Chains A and B, each alone.
Chain A
């Protein structure tokens, strides 16, 4: 689907060259119109806030967005700096040739290079196109958004006084990333990755920095809004009793939150705060939420299908989901 969207946009860009008014100019007009309409709708909005359920929804929606914003911005700034100032061949040069050795190294490299998941997909695509073993690039893709310092700090803030949650998240994510990489090295078909494309900004480092930051902010910010709305809806609409009834059911509760992570598609910088709010679930289920979220979710599946192709995505997503859940259960049982 993502590819169809991409093709559609390419087509409309082509069409736009023939028209006198570029669509880019209309975009600003649309922004102004939306703000104006919102201004006219102010009385309506105030009426809506008189309804307790809507006010509750709006407060939680805004709260998640606001809380995540500084972490998102930090992640995007660092990721843009990496894209702009770290030489593109730095990683390929420093990775071993054999996949079985390159995979753990790539996992560690992923931990050291902060970025949110929207940013790691094009980076992984760039690695593959520069000749890094696909298994290693995929490990990097999974590790980078899940266990980087920004995400771990956010997790520590979300679970104050509980360092074991941070440790469990780090270990379970690292384990899952490495296992998926090794499974891919053994059984995967690299031919599936043949048409690897990425969104790579080029030019002077300063321009690359701002282009990448602006692009990633709009993408990640937009998906954050979707995630915040979904989470707020869940908290407002779904009676506690349903979540509570799933919460007590051992393995079922782990699968429920892992599935929720896929559907909510919250950025890895922010998901710990949502996990912290799901207080009726066991710590192991909430760990699964935080381990699965940065690796498999609806927006990532779309991004991966658009970048690596559908045939890759339909194999990679279920494999990653299963490994991430298993890894969470093992580490959660051990540490939490």
Chain B
């Protein structure tokens, strides 16, 4: 066993634990993965500590003669684990932004779609996922909105004529399989928000958008920080 190997394992485990306990892991994987990351972190730290302690005890020259086999106990390719770890220790990479919106395949909103109950006219805007907004817009051309106000949370993903694109990713497992849902926000007064700025947009469904880009006429746009769970 090598002390370097043990140290690398302890570092990897500690970083996993930190990601899980601070909630930062939600930038990369689904919320439900949290406890799995804690468990994995504890196991890796334990294995690393044991390896480190055993390496300390067995550092006598006599012991080295027992290690004549082929690839020994070198760290080898394990050194590469330091790459993501060093990055995560310092600055955790951000959530996925607008860069990937045009590069990824988009969500098939038509799959598993049902018939929506009409929204009640309560006067308060109803918070809604971009997926539900797109599905309601597709289903019977948006009749179920009942002209009620809705509230969408997403990030600015590029200018459009008369407004901008609001997007949010869906992920099945981790950010590698992220697929964006995009809504066109129109009726924007004043300056268009900065690209990748997170926003809460309140407004009403606007007929006339197409299947890929349903439209929302904005009545208010609020800048916010990226949410803890940035994916839908």
- Tell me if A58 counts as interface (CB < 8 A to partner B): yes
B84 near A70 (CB under 8 angstroms)?
A: no
B76 near A219 (CB under 8 angstroms)?
A: yes
Per-residue A-contact encoding for B46-86, CB less than 8 Å = 1, 0 else: 01101100110001010011011111111111111111101
Most buried by B among A66, A221, A232, A273: A66
> Chain A residues with Cβ under 8 A from B78's Cβ?
217-219, 221-222
> Chain B residues with Cβ under 8 A from A30's Cβ?
4
Complex: A66 Cα to B82 Cα, angstroms? 13
Closest A-chain residue to B27, C-beta based?
A: A59
B47 near A13 (CB under 8 angstroms)?
A: no
Q: Given A211-B1, A218-B5, do A56 and B99 touch, yes or no (CB 8 Å)?
A: yes
Contact of B172 among A6, A16, A276 (CB under 8 A): A276
Q: Given A62-B28, A62-B87, A215-B73, do A70 and B55 touch, yes or no (CB 8 Å)?
A: no
- Tell me if B165 counts as interface (CB < 8 A to partner A): no
Closest A-chain residue to B46, C-beta based?
A: A210
Q: Which of B35-43, B130-138, B204-212, B214-222 interfaces with chain A? A: B35-43
> Chain A residues with Cβ under 8 A from B177's Cβ?
158, 273, 276-277, 279
B36 near A70 (CB under 8 angstroms)?
A: yes
Per-residue A-contact encoding for B8-46, CB less than 8 Å = 1, 0 else: 110110001001000001011100010011011001100
Q: How far is the CB of A258 from chain B (nearest CB, A)?
A: 19
- Tell me if A199 counts as interface (CB < 8 A to partner B): yes
- Tell me if A127 counts as interface (CB < 8 A to partner B): no
A197 near B70 (CB under 8 angstroms)?
A: yes
- Tell me if B191 counts as interface (CB < 8 A to partner A): no
Q: Which of B88-96, B114-122, B139-147, B181-189 interfaces with chain A? A: B88-96
Most buried by A among B36, B50, B173: B173
Complex: A70 Cα to B17 Cα, angstroms? 12
A residues contacting the other copy or chain, number (CB 8 A): 79
Complex: A240 Cα to B99 Cα, angstroms? 13
- Tell me if A223 counts as interface (CB < 8 A to partner B): yes
B33 near A56 (CB under 8 angstroms)?
A: no
> Chain B residues with Cβ under 8 A from A53's Cβ?
99
Closest B-chain residue to A302, C-beta based?
A: B77
- Tell me if A79 counts as interface (CB < 8 A to partner B): no
A9 near B90 (CB under 8 angstroms)?
A: no
Question: Majority SS of interface residues in chain B?
Answer: helix
Question: Majority SS of interface residues in chain A?
Answer: helix
A210 near B77 (CB under 8 angstroms)?
A: no
1-37 of chain A: CB within 8 A of chain B: 5-6, 9-10, 13, 16-17, 22, 24-25, 27-28, 30-31, 34-35, 37
Complex: A49 Cα to B96 Cα, angstroms? 11
Complex: A226 Cα to B48 Cα, angstroms? 21
- Tell me if B176 counts as interface (CB < 8 A to partner A): yes
A31 near B37 (CB under 8 angstroms)?
A: no
Q: Given A70-B37, A210-B51, A231-B176, do A35 and B86 touch, yes or no (CB 8 Å)?
A: yes
A49 near B16 (CB under 8 angstroms)?
A: no
> Chain B residues with Cβ under 8 A from A38's Cβ?
86-87, 89-90
Complex: A13 Cα to B94 Cα, angstroms? 42
B8 near A59 (CB under 8 angstroms)?
A: no
Complex: A240 Cα to B179 Cα, angstroms? 13
Per-residue B-contact encoding for A89-120, CB less than 8 Å = 1, 0 else: 00000000000000000000000000000000
- What are 29 A-B pairs at a CB distance below 8 A? A6-B70, A9-B74, A25-B59, A27-B75, A28-B3, A30-B4, A31-B8, A35-B82, A55-B99, A56-B96, A56-B100, A62-B92, A63-B174, A64-B176, A67-B29, A70-B33, A70-B39, A74-B40, A214-B6, A217-B44, A222-B80, A225-B83, A225-B84, A229-B83, A240-B104, A273-B173, A273-B174, A277-B176, A306-B71
B interface residues with partner A (beta carbon < 8 Å): 1-9, 11-12, 16, 19, 25, 27-29, 33, 36-37, 39-40, 43-44, 47-48, 50-51, 54-55, 59, 61, 64-65, 67-84, 86-100, 103-105, 172-179, 196
Apart from A66-B29, A158-B172, A226-B80: 6 A-B pairs, beta carbons within 8 A: A24-B4, A55-B99, A66-B174, A199-B70, A210-B54, A215-B73
Question: Which 8 pairs, one residue from A and one from B, show the smallest C-beta to C-beta distance?
Answer: A27-B4, A218-B78, A222-B77, A38-B86, A277-B177, A63-B175, A67-B174, A58-B93
